[in-house]
Amino acid sequence: MMNDMSRRQFGAVVVGSTAAAALAACTPFGAASSTRGVGLTVIVVGAGVAGLAAARDLYRSGAEVIVLEARDRIGGRTATIVREGFALDLGASWIHGLDGNPVTELVNDAGLGLIETDVESAIGFDAATADGVLDDAALARAGARLDAAVEAGYETEVDQPLQRVVDAAASGASASEARLIRYLAASAIENEYAGPLSELSAWWFDEAGGYDGGDAMIEGGYAQVPEVLADELDVRLGAVVTAVSWGDDGVLVQTASESFEADAVIMTVPLGVLQSGAIAVDPPLPEAQQAAIAGLGMGVLNKVFMLFDEVFWDDSVDWIGIVPPDGLDPWVDWVTVGRADDVPVLLGFAAGDLGRSVDAMSDEQVVASALATLRSAYPSAPEPIEVLVTRWGADEFARGSYSFAAVGSDPEMRDDLAAGVGERLHLAGEATSREHPSTVHGALLSGRRAAENVLGDLGS
Ligand SMILES: Cc1cc2nc3c(=O)[nH]c(=O)nc-3n(C[C@H](O)[C@H](O)[C@H](O)COP(=O)(O)OP(=O)(O)OC[C@H]3O[C@@H](n4cnc5c(N)ncnc54)[C@H](O)[C@@H]3O)c2cc1C
């Protein structure tokens, strides 16, 4: 249906120096017109993958859409820096599970190249063994103990932090096996789910689904995904949304200097931003959504990229695992990210408590901490010639890396977030995806779902 010109003006924004001035000058939900297809006007808050996916579907369906993004770039938690032709992904690196993954489809359609990596392509170090190499058989025994404790953790009457599960696995094990159990927990649990063991739910931490088919990085960097999604969209950068009001007739979205009226709003800001209360919502979100925002956890996974003069590590593998010697920080996972391009770069991960401490550490402190553990495997590792450290927890527009299932939460909380508030206010973003939280594909699908809901509610 072509626009009947009966809807309110969209984005005919009132510019004022303060939010109050903007509000005073803006007639909330006043009548004017949308100029596109279905006569529907939508504000999307956040130009990450969820927001851009929602905006793209709405725009293609004929709605008029403005995306308000606080940063001076799009992409949110997908961010790429290119140094001398080499792409460093500061946020998401991998398409996890290539088969049937909507990100794979998008990347293929855009003609982007993939760099497949394999977790089986790995070498492990343990300074406690005679030859310094990780003992695979001992690791398998430690893994079996941890698996059994995790299984038992699903069955308890009351949920508990995963730390207790890991402690139960380690109790009764030999000292060397207990070290391997803690190594596995840091690598396979904390580095995967980002939350600290002391906060992750033993019942729900690994509840989400996934795709088959191995993992791949994107040649040239992940930031190309949001760029593809943003094509043709009206994205306003530097637009920090401070307040959202909603009612039966429409919504009013405010930044410090502007107010936007529309039929509906889709908020895609990260869970950490919702938790911070940085955006005032009026009337407040219903109880179920507030409980979900408070109940789910926001984890921190940080990265350190270290550029060296030359490769000193085993460059025939994708992954290097290091069992941290006592007293050293658990920089347990390293990726030889420069392999495909022949660049001597290593990427190390810090999650859980270590991830959060990196937020407050200087680059020098991070290098000292990471290098100490790396040198337990490669004693002659030199100082890096360049270093790049992420601090996602300290980033005011992320306030963490991705959501996790905290003790006391349950997966239905994500459905509560996804449900929307009436017809006018919708939430999207990785934390609202019950099936694929904490991922780019979850964000993408959540944005598509929110767009579909808006069109279903208001589109005809
Ligand atoms: C270090 C790290 C590694 C990761 N690795 C992977 C991986 O390998 N594979 C994978 O699938 N996923 C990975 N993830 C997770 C993935 O990046 C996220 O799940 C996904 O990008 C989230 O997209 P989103 O659209 O939900 O949120 P975001 O990308 O965070 O988008 C939300 C947007 O809202 C904006 N915003 C915030 N506040 C305001 C405001 N007040 N006003 C206006 N705009 C605002 C933000 O700037 C941001 O652009 C990783 C994340 C991190 C941090």
Q: What is the mean pLDDT of the chain?
A: 92
For residue 7, pLDDT over 80 is answered with: no
The separation between the first and the last C-alpha atoms of the chain, rounded to the nearest angstrom, is: 8
Is 269 close to ligand 1, i.e. is its CB under 6 Å away? yes
What three-state secondary structure class fits 237? coil
Per-residue pLDDT, averaged over 330-342, amounts to 94
- Which atom of ligand 1 is nearest the CA belonging to 441? 11
For residue 23, pLDDT over 80 is answered with: no
For residue 201, pLDDT over 60 is answered with: yes
CB atoms within 10 A of CB 22: 22
pLDDT bin (cut points 50, 70, 90) of residue 85 is confident
What per-residue confidence (pLDDT) applies to 12? Answer: 27
CB atoms within 10 A of CB 341: 12
Q: Tell the residue nearest (CA) to atom 48 of ligand 1.
A: 76
pLDDT bin (cut points 50, 70, 90) of residue 459 is confident
Element (H, E) at 359: helix 352-359
Per-residue pLDDT, averaged over 55-67, amounts to 97
Residue among 333, 452, 350, 432 nearest 46 (CA) = 432
Q: Which of 77, 229, 298, 403 to mutate to test the pocket of ligand 1 (most atoms within 8 A of CB)?
A: 77
For 90-147, write each residue's pLDDT tens digit: 999 999 999 999 999 999 999 999 999 999 999 999 999 999 999 999 999 999 999 9
- Which atom of ligand 1 is nearest the CA belonging to 400? 53
Amino acid identity of residue 271, one-letter, is L
What three-state secondary structure class fits 373? helix
CA 439–ligand 1 middle distance (angstroms): 9
Amino acid identity of residue 126, one-letter, is D
Instruction: Give the lowest-confidence range in 34-48, 180-194, 430-444.
Output: 34-48
- Residue in the structure block whose two tokens are 């006043």: 30
CA 64–ligand 1 middle distance (angstroms): 24
Q: Distance of alpha carbon 208 from its chain centroid, rounded?
A: 14
Buried b (16+ CB within 10 A) or exposed e, 171-181: eebeeebbbbb
For residue 185, pLDDT over 90 is answered with: yes
Per-residue pLDDT, averaged over 289-310, amounts to 98
For residue 186, pLDDT over 80 is answered with: yes
What per-residue confidence (pLDDT) applies to 37? Answer: 67
Amino acid identity of residue 210, one-letter, is G
User: Are the CB atoms for 272 and 399 separated by under 8 Å?
Assistant: yes
Per-residue pLDDT, averaged over 288-292, amounts to 98
Per-residue pLDDT, averaged over 12-33, amounts to 33
Residues whose CB falls within 8 Å of the CB of residue 122, separated by 6 or more in sequence, listed in order: 317, 318, 319, 320, 321
CA 76–ligand 1 middle distance (angstroms): 4
What per-residue confidence (pLDDT) applies to 38? Answer: 75
Is 89 close to ligand 1, i.e. is its CB under 6 Å away? no
Longest dimension (CA), the chain: 78
Q: Which of 101, 269, 274 to mutate to test the pocket of ligand 1 (most atoms within 8 A of CB)?
A: 269
What per-residue confidence (pLDDT) applies to 24? Answer: 35
Residue among 456, 319, 417 nearest 50 (CA) = 417
pLDDT above 90 coverage of the chain, percent: 88
Buried b (16+ CB within 10 A) or exposed e, 374-385: bbbbbeebeebe
User: Are the CB atoms for 269 and 69 separated by under 8 Å?
Assistant: no
CA 279–ligand 1 middle distance (angstroms): 17
For the beta sheet containing 234-236, the strands, ordered from the edge strand earlier in sequence to the opposite edge, are 234-236, 64-68, 41-45, 264-267, 425-427
- Sign for the pseudo-dihedral over CA of 440, 441, 444, 447: negative
Per-residue pLDDT, averaged over 312-334, amounts to 96
pLDDT bin (cut points 50, 70, 90) of residue 328 is very high
* Per-residue tokens: 304: 């350190």
- Which atom of ligand 1 is nearest the CA belonging to 392? 53
CA 80–ligand 1 middle distance (angstroms): 12
Is 76 close to ligand 1, i.e. is its CB under 6 Å away? yes
CA 436–ligand 1 middle distance (angstroms): 14
If phi > 0 it is left, if psi is from -120 to 50 it is alpha, else beta; for residue 426 that is beta
- Which atom of ligand 1 is nearest the CA belonging to 447? 25
For residue 30, pLDDT over 70 is answered with: no
Is 417 close to ligand 1, i.e. is its CB under 6 Å away? no
CA 47–ligand 1 middle distance (angstroms): 9
Q: Distance of alpha carbon 101 from its chain centroid, rounded?
A: 16
What per-residue confidence (pLDDT) applies to 13? Answer: 31
Instruction: Give me the domains of the chain, ranges plus CATH numbers.
Output: 14-75+223-295+406-458 (3.50.50.60), 80-103+111-120+210-218+298-394 (3.90.660.10)
User: Are the CB atoms for 214 and 118 separated by under 8 Å?
Assistant: yes
Is 47 close to ligand 1, i.e. is its CB under 6 Å away? yes
